[in-house]
């Protein structure tokens, strides 16, 4: 059974940083890209970027370049999302998700998801 289990909710002050973890199990961690997607209250899903756990290579959405860092620890099958210089607009649920990796899908067809981590930015 494929599982992605994320860390718990966080409350941060503006300007702070936060790291969200995504612990995976049930599949070969280095065989599938991990994506991060966020959903602000009442808003549509927003793709933030991906990381290739096999190489450590990343691709961030332009909007998030300079403000996020995605990493992995292959020894424990865990992905991390670090958010820097938080502002109130960063208040959202952050999801990690596995790329399905099918030939006809292109990137970011997301077949397994974590449960989400609520990050609240408030003074």
Partner 1 sequence: DIQMTQSPSSLSASVGDRVTITCRASQTINTYLNWYQQKPREAPKLLIYGATSLQSGVPSRFSGSGSGTEFTLTISSLQPEDFATYYCQQTYSLPPTFGHGTKVEVK
Q: Output the six-digit token pair for 104.
A: 């006809």
Q: Which is nearer to partner 1, 66 or 107 (CB)?
A: 107
The residues near 51 (Cβ < 8 Å, ≥ 6 apart) are 33, 34, 57, 58, 70, 71, 72, 79
User: Minimum CB separation from partner 1 for residue 78, in Å?
Assistant: 17
Closest approach of partner 1 to the CB of residue 8, in Å? 14
Residues that bind partner 1 (CB under 8 A): 44-47, 59, 61-63, 95, 97, 100, 102, 104-111, 113-116
3-state DSSP of 41-60 = CCCCCEEEEEECCCCCCEEE
Q: Which is nearer to partner 1, 62 or 123 (CB)?
A: 62
């Amino acid at each position: 059974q494929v599982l992605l289990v994320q860390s718990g909710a966080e409350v941060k002050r503006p300007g702070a940083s936060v790291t969200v973890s995504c612990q995976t199990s049930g599949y070969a961690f280095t065989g599938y890209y991990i994506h991060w997607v966020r959903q602000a209250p009442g808003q549509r899903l927003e793709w933030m970027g991906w990381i290739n756990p096999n190489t450590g290579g990343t691709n961030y959405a332009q909007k998030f370049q300079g403000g996020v860092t995605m990493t992995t620890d292959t020894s424990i099958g865990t992905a991390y999302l670090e958010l820097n210089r938080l502002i109130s607009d960063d208040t959202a649920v952050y999801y990690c998700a596995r790329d399905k990796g099918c030939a006809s899908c292109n990137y970011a067809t997301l077949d397994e998801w974590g449960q989400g981590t609520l990050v609240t930015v408030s003074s």
